[in-house]
Structure 1
Amino acid sequence: MNTKIQPISDSIVKEIINLEHVSILELDKEEIISLFKSNGILLFRGFDVNTDIFKEFTNLLSTDFINYYGGAFSRRVINGDETLLSVNDFKSEIKLHGEMYYQQNIPLMLWFFCANPPLEDGETTVCDGRQFFNEISSSTKELFRKKKLKFTVRMSQQDWQKKYQTDDLNKLEEMCQKNKTHLTVNDDQSIMLEYICPAIIPSRCGKYQVFINSLLPTKQLSPKILNFEDDSEISDEVVSELNEIAEKITTEISWQKGDILMIDNTRILHGRRSFADEQRDIYIRLCSPAFSF
C-alpha cells in the first residue's frame, strides 16, 4: 500500500493513512483483510472519500447489507438507501456496546463514515471485547456464566409498526422468530418482546472469551428493560465495575472528514461521547464480510 499503517496511541486501532494521494478503491484488498482479521478494527484516513465512494469501497469488502428495522434508535436513511444510515439521532453519550446485541441476528461487520466531523467532542469510542473480558473480576465472570441477560420491551401498536416498518402482525411474528425473540400480542395490539442472550460469547476462532453485548447503553438509557433471565436485577455494583473497565480500556477516535472505520462486531465494542453542535454527521452500514472470517 502507498500508505502508512500505525496504531492510534497504544490501542488496537490500526490507522491506514494515505501518503501519496492514492484512491481508497486501489488499496490492496488482501492486505486490508489480513489487517482486519488480526486487529478487528481499521481506520482509513486522508483519502478523498464522498458518500458514493464510501459505498463503493464497502461494497468491495462486504456482503449482506441490512436495514435497521427493529433497531433501538431512530436512524435517518441517507439518499433513499436503507443500508446507509445516519447515527446522529440524538447527542448524548452512548456507552460501549456491540451493535444490535438485543436480538439474535447481528451484523458481523460495521462501517462508519465521517461525512462531516463535529466542531468538538462527539468522539467514537472503541475497545476490544477480549481485553474487556480479561479485566472483569472472577466473581462477575461467574455471575455472567450462570445468568444470561433478558431484554423485555413493551411497545404500543403505533411504536412497533414504526420500528419494524410494517403493520402486519404475521410479518412481525416472522421477524421475531428469526431473532429468537418471544412475542406477546395484547388485545389492544400492543406487544411485549423478550430476548435472552449471554453477556460473554466465544470468539469466532474459539480461542478466546469476548465480553460484547448491549448491557451498558441499555442500563444507561432504558434500565428497566434489562435484567437477568431469572428476572433478578443486575446490581449497580456490577454495572459500575463494567463502566470503570470500559473507561480504562477505551480508545477515542476524533473524527476527520472522510474517515472510514471498519469494525468486527463480534469482537469490538463501540460507543460515542456526547456532543453539542449540529455539524456532526456520521453514517453507518451494517453487513457481513465478503471474505472468510
Structure 2
Amino acid sequence: MDQLLAIDMDFCTDNSDCRVHDMSAQKQSGLAWVKANTDLINDWVNQDGLALLRGLNIVSTHQFSTILETIFGEPLKQYVYRSSPRTALKNNIYTTTEYHADQVILQHNENAYSNSWPKRMGFFCVVPATTGGNTPLADSRAVYNHIPMRIREKFERLGVMYVRNYGDIDLPWQEVFQTQSKSDVEQYCHANDIQFEWVDGDKLQTRQCRPAVVTHPSSGEKVWFNQAHLFHCSSMDSAVVQSMRSSIGEANLPRNAYFGDGTDIDPQDIAAINDVYRGLTFSYQWQRNDILLLDNMLYTHGREAYSGPRKVLVGMA
C-alpha cells in the first residue's frame, strides 16, 4: 500500500506542513479503498489534524456520505442552529456556505459559538472554481499561541457572548433552528444554555456565552475556539454598520460579539486576531473529487473569493 500514498508539498500555497495523500494509482472505487483503509485514514487525521485524500473515484453524493460515515464510525450530524445559508442534500450532506462568490469567509471552527459542535468534518470538491475558491486552513493551537497575551488572557478569562437578531437582515429563526415552532426553539434554547427573547411577537433575539479557549480532549492542548471575530460588528463594512446603528440601533444588529460579561470588545483587538489568522493561514488548490478531512477543534476553515462555478459539499460528525 505504501507505493499508493504520497505527500506532495507542491499542493500547498505556502511552506506549511501539508498532508496530501494521493491515491490516483489505485484502481478500487473510492468507497472500497476507504473501507480497506479506515484505520490508516483516522491515524492521519489524529496525528496531523487534517488529511486531504486525492485521486479517489467518487461518483455520487450518497457515496461521499457513506465514505464519511465509514471514516467517522457514526452517522452524520444534522446541521441545526445554523449561522449561514446552506442547501441540505440527502443523508445530512450540505452545500458549503452560500455567500456571493466575491465574498471571503473568515477563518472559523464550525459551531464554535455553540455548546455543541462537530468533532470531525469532511469536505468534498465536486466542481473546483475557475479561480480562487479554495478552503484556507489555520492551526487553532498556533492561533492561540500567536494572539498577543494581553488579548488572549482577557478572552480566556471572560469568554465571548454571541448576540443574534434573526429575521430581516440575518437568517430567519425558522431556518437557523430548522423548525416552524416557537416552542421547539424555546426547548432547544433551554437545552443548550441560550438566552432568548421574543420581540414584537415573532422576532427572536438570542444570547449565548461560550469560552474563547478550550482544551482538545485528546492532545490536552489549548486551542483558540470561538467566532468573536466573525460575529463582531467591526467585521462588517463600517459604512453598513454605521447605517444600521442609526436605523435600528446597536442592540438590533443582526449579530455581534461581546465579552462574556457583556462589555464591549475593542475593534482593534478583533483586527489583531484577524491579523494572526492571516499570518497562519494556508490552503490547498482544490481538485475534482478531493476529500478534505478536518479535526474541527484543531483546524479552522474559511473560503476564498472565486470566479466561475464552484461546488463543495460538507458533512459533519
| TM-score using structure 2 length | 0.83
> Residue by residue, what CA displacement relative to the aligned partner does 1:86-110 show, whole Å, maximum 9, x if unpaired?
1151121011111011211111111
Corresponding residue number in structure 2 for 1:252: 283
CA distance in 1, matches of 2:213, 2:8: 30
> Residue by residue, what CA displacement relative to the aligned partner does 1:244-269 show, whole Å, maximum 9, x if unpaired?
11111111122110000001112111
1:61 maps to 2:71: yes
Structure 1 162/82 Cα, relative in aligned 2: closer, same or farther at 3 Å? farther
Tell me, yes or no, if the aligned pair for 1:88 and 1:282 is still in contact at 8 Å: no
CA distance in 2, matches of 1:285, 1:269: 15
CA distance in 2, matches of 1:170, 1:82: 26
1:154 maps to 2:156: no
Corresponding residue number in structure 2 for 1:291: none
Per the TM alignment, residue 240 of structure 1 is displaced from its structure 2 partner at its CA by: 1.6
Amino acid at match of 2:268: E
Corresponding residue number in structure 1 for 2:19: 14
> Residue by residue, what CA displacement relative to the aligned partner does 1:112-171 show, whole Å, maximum 9, x if unpaired?
000100000111110110111111111112111221100111224992123322222221
Tell me, yes or no, if the aligned pair for 1:125 and 1:252 is still in contact at 8 Å: yes
CA distance in 2, matches of 1:285, 1:184: 31
Tell me, yes or no, if the aligned pair for 1:105 and 1:178 is still in contact at 8 Å: no
CA distance in 2, matches of 1:223, 1:245: 26
Tell me, yes or no, if the aligned pair for 1:29 and 1:61 is still in contact at 8 Å: yes
- Structure 1 regions of 5+ residues with no counterpart? 288-293
Corresponding residue number in structure 2 for 1:283: 313
Normalized per residue, which structure has more strand?
1
Corresponding residue number in structure 1 for 2:137: 126
Per the TM alignment, residue 42 of structure 1 is displaced from its structure 2 partner at its CA by: 0.6
Tell me, yes or no, if the aligned pair for 2:125 and 2:291 is still in contact at 8 Å: yes
SS of match in other structure, 1:193: strand
What root-mean-square deviation, in Å, do the aligned CA atoms of Structure 1 and Structure 2 show?
2.1
Corresponding residue number in structure 2 for 1:4: 6
SS of match in other structure, 2:22: strand
Corresponding residue number in structure 1 for 2:38: 29
Per the TM alignment, residue 82 of structure 1 is displaced from its structure 2 partner at its CA by: 5.6
Alignment of 1:86-235 (within 5 A): 86-90=95-99, 91=101, 92-156=103-167, 159-205=172-218, 207-219=220-232, 220-221=235-236, 225-235=256-266
SS of match in other structure, 1:165: coil
Structure 1 201/223 Cα, relative in aligned 2: closer, same or farther at 3 Å? farther
Question: In percent, how many aligned pairs have the same letter?
Answer: 21
| TM-score using structure 1 length | 0.90
CA distance in 1, matches of 2:91, 2:54: 25
Per the TM alignment, residue 71 of structure 1 is displaced from its structure 2 partner at its CA by: 0.5
Normalized per residue, which structure has more helix?
2
SS of match in other structure, 2:7: strand
Among 62, 66, 81, which residue is 1:52 paired with?
62
